[in-house]
């Protein structure tokens, strides 16, 4: 009952004539949108606002092959005028030919009965999840660790191309939820804990997916749905879709930032956070959906709900009394399309709400305009189907090479006492390796969730042609040199965390014949609520395996293959080297073999803080007062940030020396742009790539300042002995923070700019406070 009259009045001002649009409008395209809208009936308009799941339009035949039922499709499209369909049958990857056929039929019916094409959406999240034989990349958390925006853009281009090959024009990606809580089961779906990393990656990804002109997206590019808007990744309980409680500073400065950049880069659509923030479900928030996004940023894209989330407003969040009430709240808050997978009730109830005056025609028209705009921008009216000729590179070696490169650039070397690289040399001098641990011989855990199936489970058959770690090491070192004795295995038919009865003694016995032990430990695949956990420590069986192997005295290399940083503080000291491969995708095994052997060099850095203690889950940008030294006297105020590995940490087979950090202005005002330069030299004997990270610290501020904030980064390649000067341009307003009154504030005073271990001081000469919510 919170939004009624007030909302209706405000709705009229959703897009004031004077508003600056996030991306420039195309007048011709807008005219087409208006013309189509004018011809539509209320039923047609409401139908456009509904998105259904493909599953309800067919079933499995006697051969257990899913078939689209034309009669059912006819009814749904002709009677209910449904504007969008999503998902893969049984959430399992189909072939390109199946996609072409299904979507072609859907488009045929849509054009016949409504004259408006369908916008079909798939969770092609790290490559074409739901298309067999396509290219899967490392998960976004790996792409973040690569700190390589170019690679991210290329990956998105390839995914767009391979999606369109199967007629699919819309992907539910990028994900920029900020992985700031290691307990949350989806932190690997986005770019780690930092707002700037997420913001730069989302822009690169949108350009890769959509191309450079969001008004005219060609047949090799797709529309994006940046998700999950916003602050989804910080549930208080650590469990998926539970409430978050966040300060206004965190919300505006950090969680909103990547979505703001996505809007400014022209993301066609956004998907909304299923949960609530400070008690307000996002699906019910006029403030966040309409005010922050559509009005303040002038973003004219379309907002789609997450899975059945209008229903969640009454069934889970209890802010609506029934479905009709929930629809009223959500549509008035700014939702344009309801992903209501299994039901057409939405059409009946929304029509009643319009007739009762509880949802205005202005709001309906605004929503439908946004949907039509997305369809026109995607060229769907002219070419509803794209697949067929012109997509010969689908699943090609060229694309595979990019995925391999991404995997190599995304594995983080966290510890190396000199044991790595493990050179294969000539066959006789090759080290003999015991390969152990539950992740040693499975594709599923290299891939993670959203890989051929929703949970990434039951899909080994579709990933058969790729190499597990075991297969890749056999290829690299010779089968005779690899002894596989896993010691601990996952129960593949159970929950992701279930393990079979351990056989640790067998692994220990096998260690007698080898020179070195490579222990592949971590997690099996999962996503969303099935990935919830109750203990962040790595499983006891796996830690016992490593402890037992350590007693053999053979050197241990730990390979961490996990969606989130599971605690390993008790076994880390037992290892000579540690590599965090995160979720590296189909070429993860090959990439690891190349890196362990020294055929490739490490260049990744941690995209999040790796915690050490269960009660010390800090992020790198913690408040300075989270570290309190002991004062003189009787009291011990000691508080420490205790962590296993910091954000931005990562070793290589070469070394880099940073020098000459300079900032061009000893003092500045809010309108200035600071130029920061630093020399980076490769001081080792191997070529390599180095991610160079620029941080700032505001030394004194009117609200407790963050310890440090990442402001920019780049990645450079350096031959041995080579030096490059890296230049960053840092607008001074980027150093502002959100003050106690909720306004952007840049205060007079001292700042330190930091790169590596170097610091450069500079000073802000005047205080500026902005009235605008976006600066
Ligand atoms: C997930 C989204 C996904 C949607 C459609 C939801 O359960 O939260 O990330 O895009 O399903 O499959």
- Residue 590 among the catalytic residues: no
- Whether 87 is in the pocket of ligand 1, judged by its Cβ within 6 Å, is yes
Sheet holding 723-731, edge to edge: 656-663, 673-682, 723-731
Helices (H) and strands (E) in the chain — how many of each? Answer: 21, 31
Å from CA of 437 to ligand 1 middle:
31
Q: Which of 147, 205, 199 shows the shortest CA–CA distance to 689?
A: 147
* Residue with CA nearest ligand 1 atom 8: 306
85, 86, 271, best to mutate for ligand 1 pocket (most atoms within 8 Å of CB):
271
Q: Which of 582, 580, 592, 707 shows the shortest CA–CA distance to 651?
A: 580
- What distance in Å separates the CA atoms of residue 511 and residue 37, rounded to the nearest whole number? 71
Low-confidence ranges of the chain (pLDDT < 70): 1-19, 425-428, 629-637
- What distance in Å separates the CA atoms of residue 266 and residue 300, rounded to the nearest whole number? 9
693-715: b (≥16 Cβ within 10 Å) or e? bbbbbbeebebebbbbbbbbbbb
Among residues 300, 306, 309, 712, the one annotated as catalytic is 306
All residues at 6 or more sequence positions from 397 whose CB lies less than 8 Å from its CB, including other chains = none
Would you call 228 helix, strand, or coil by DSSP?
strand
Å from CA of 65 to ligand 1 middle:
24
Å from CA of 307 to ligand 1 middle:
6
Which residue's entry shows tokens 């780049």? 714
How do residues 346-383 score in pLDDT, each as one tens digit? 999 999 999 999 999 999 999 999 999 999 999 999 99
Q: Which H helix or E strand runs over 718?
A: strand 709-718
Q: Are 577 and 537 in contact (CB under 8 A)?
A: no
Q: What is the 3-state secondary structure (H, E, C) of 135-150?
A: CECCCHHHHHHHCCHH
Å from CA of 150 to ligand 1 middle:
26
Burial environment of residue 293 by CB neighbours within 10 A (0 to 12, 13 to 18, 19 or more):
buried
Burial environment of residue 347 by CB neighbours within 10 A (0 to 12, 13 to 18, 19 or more):
buried
Q: Which H helix or E strand runs over 659?
A: strand 656-663
307, 454, 527, 530, best to mutate for ligand 1 pocket (most atoms within 8 Å of CB):
307
- Whether 306 is in the pocket of ligand 1, judged by its Cβ within 6 Å, is yes
Q: What is the 3-state secondary structure (H, E, C) of 719-772?
A: CCCCEEEEEEEEEHHHHCEECCCCCEEECCEEEEEEECCEEEEEEECCCEECCC
* Residue with CA nearest ligand 1 atom 7: 307
Q: Give, rounded to a whole angstrom, the gap between the first and last alpha carbons of the chain.
A: 33
- Whether 307 is in the pocket of ligand 1, judged by its Cβ within 6 Å, is yes
Could you write out the DSSP letters of every residue in 114-134? Answer: TSS--EEEE---SB-TTBTTS
- What distance in Å separates the CA atoms of residue 345 and residue 321, rounded to the nearest whole number? 16
Q: What is the pLDDT of residue 636?
A: 65
- What distance in Å separates the CA atoms of residue 102 and residue 111, rounded to the nearest whole number? 14
For 417, 451, 578, the CA distances from 573, given in Å and listed in that order, are 11, 33, 10
> φ, ψ for residue 338 (rounded to 5)?
-100, 115
Could you write out the DSSP letters of every residue in 681-716? Answer: EE-SSS-EEEEEEEEEEESS-SSPPBS-EEEEEEEE
> φ, ψ for residue 481 (rounded to 5)?
-95, 0
Rg (CA), the chain: 27
- What distance in Å separates the CA atoms of residue 646 and residue 414, rounded to the nearest whole number? 10
Cis peptide before 421 (omega within 30 of 0): yes
Å from CA of 247 to ligand 1 middle:
26
Q: Are 244 and 276 in contact (CB under 8 A)?
A: yes
Å from CA of 87 to ligand 1 middle:
9
Q: Which of 745, 753, 734, 731 shows the shortest CA–CA distance to 666?
A: 753
User: Interior CA angle at 462 toward 461 and 467, to 5°?
Assistant: 85
Q: Are 661 and 758 in contact (CB under 8 A)?
A: yes
Q: Which two tokens stand for residue 554?
A: 């053979």
86, 123, 316, best to mutate for ligand 1 pocket (most atoms within 8 Å of CB):
123
pTM above 0.85, yes or no: yes
- What distance in Å separates the CA atoms of residue 30 and residue 280, rounded to the nearest whole number? 34
Residue 528 alpha carbon, nearest atom of ligand 1: 8
* Residue with CA nearest ligand 1 atom 2: 306
- Whether 130 is in the pocket of ligand 1, judged by its Cβ within 6 Å, is no
All residues at 6 or more sequence positions from 250 whose CB lies less than 8 Å from its CB, including other chains = 234
- What distance in Å separates the CA atoms of residue 761 and residue 752, rounded to the nearest whole number? 5
Q: Are 123 and 172 in contact (CB under 8 A)?
A: yes
- Whether 341 is in the pocket of ligand 1, judged by its Cβ within 6 Å, is no
């Amino acid at each position: 009952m919170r939004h009624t009259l007030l909302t209706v009045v405000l709705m009229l001002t959703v897009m004031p004539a004077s508003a600056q649009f996030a991306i420039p409008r195309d007048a011709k395209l807008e005219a087409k949108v208006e013309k189509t809208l004018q011809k539509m009936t209320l039923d047609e308009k409401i139908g456009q606002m509904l998105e259904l799941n493909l599953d309800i339009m067919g079933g499995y035949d006697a051969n257990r092959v899913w078939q689209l039922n034309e009669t059912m499709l006819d009814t749904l499209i002709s009677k209910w005028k449904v504007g969008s369909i999503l998902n893969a049958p049984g959430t399992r990857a189909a072939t390109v030919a199946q996609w072409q056929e299904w979507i072609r039929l859907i488009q045929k019916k849509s054009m016949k009965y409504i004259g408006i094409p369908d916008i079909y959406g798939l969770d092609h999240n790290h490559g074409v999840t739901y298309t067999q034989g396509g290219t899967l990349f490392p998960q976004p958390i790996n792409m973040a660790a690569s700190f390589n925006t170019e690679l991210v853009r290329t990956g998105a281009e390839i995914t767009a191309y391979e999606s369109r090959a199967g007629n699919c024009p819309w992907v539910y990606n990028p994900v920029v939820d900020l992985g700031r809580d290691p307990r949350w089961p989806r932190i690997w779906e986005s770019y780690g804990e930092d707002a700037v990393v997420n913001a730069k990656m989302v822009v690169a990804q949108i350009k890769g997916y959509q191309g450079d002109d969001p008004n005219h997206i060609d047949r090799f590019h797709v529309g994006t749905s940046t998700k999950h808007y916003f602050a989804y990744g910080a549930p208080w309980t650590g469990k998926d879709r539970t409430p978050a409680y966040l300060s206004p500073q965190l919300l505006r400065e950090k969680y909103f930032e990547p979505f703001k950049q996505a809007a400014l880069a022209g993301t066609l659509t956004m998907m909304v956070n299923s949960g609530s923030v400070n008690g307000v479900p996002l699906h019910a928030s006029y403030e966040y959906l309409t005010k922050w996004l559509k009005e303040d940023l002038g973003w004219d894209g379309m907002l789609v709900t997450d899975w059945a989330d209008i229903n969640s407003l009454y069934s889970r969040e209890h802010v609506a009394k029934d479905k009709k009430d929930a629809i009223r709240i959500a549509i008035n808050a700014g939702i344009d399309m309801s992903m209501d997978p299994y039901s057409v009730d939405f059409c009946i109830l929304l029509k009643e709400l319009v007739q009762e005056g509880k949802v205005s025609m202005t709001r309906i028209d605004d929503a439908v305009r946004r949907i039509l705009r997305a369809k026109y921008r995607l060229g769907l009216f002219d070419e509803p189907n794209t697949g067929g000729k012109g997509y010969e590179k689908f699943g090609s070696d060229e694309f595979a090479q990019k995925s391999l490169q991404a995997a190599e650039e995304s594995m983080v070397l966290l510890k190396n006492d000199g044991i790595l690289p493990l050179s294969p040399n000539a066959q006789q001098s090759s080290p003999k390796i015991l390969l152990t641990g539950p992740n040693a011989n499975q594709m599923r855990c290299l891939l993670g969730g959203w890989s051929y199936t929703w949970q990434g489970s039951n899909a080994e058959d579709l990933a058969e042609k790729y190499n597990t770690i075991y297969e890749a090491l056999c290829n690299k070192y010779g089968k005779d040199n690899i002894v596989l004795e896993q010691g601990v295995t996952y129960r593949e038919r159970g929950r992701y965390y279930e393990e079979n009865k351990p056989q640790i003694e067998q692994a220990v016995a096998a260690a007698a014949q080898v020179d070195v032990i490579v222990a592949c430990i971590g997690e099996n695949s999962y996503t969303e609520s099935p990935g919830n956990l109750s203990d962040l420590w790595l499983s006891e069986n796996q830690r016992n395996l490593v402890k037992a192997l350590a007693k053999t005295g053979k050197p241990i290399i730990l390979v961490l293959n996990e969606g989130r940083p599971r605690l390993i503080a008790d076994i880390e000291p037992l290892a000579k080297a540690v590599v965090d491969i995160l979720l590296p995708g189909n070429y993860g095994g090959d990439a690891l073999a190349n890196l362990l052997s020294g055929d490739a060099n490490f260049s990744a850095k941690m995209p999040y803080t790796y915690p050490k203690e269960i009660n010390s889950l800090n992020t790198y940008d913690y408040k300075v007062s989270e570290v309190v030294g002991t004062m003189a006297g009787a009291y011990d105020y000691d508080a420490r940030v205790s962590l296993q590995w910091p954000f931005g940490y990562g070793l290589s087979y070469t070394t880099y020396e940073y020098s000459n950090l300079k900032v061009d202005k000893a003092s500045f005002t809010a309108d200035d742009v600071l130029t920061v330069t630093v020399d980076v030299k490769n001081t080792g004997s191997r070529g390599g790539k180095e991610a160079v990270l620029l941080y700032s610290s505001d030394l004194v501020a009117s609200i407790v300042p963050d310890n440090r904030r990442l402001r920019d980064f780049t990645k450079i390649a350096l031959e041995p002995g080579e030096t490059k000067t890296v230049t960053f341009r840092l607008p001074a307003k980027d150093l502002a923070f959100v003050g106690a009154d909720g306004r952007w504030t840049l205060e007079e005073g001292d700042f330190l700019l930091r790169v590596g271990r170097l610091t450069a001081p500079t000073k802000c000469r005047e205080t500026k406070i902005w009235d605008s919510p976006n600066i």
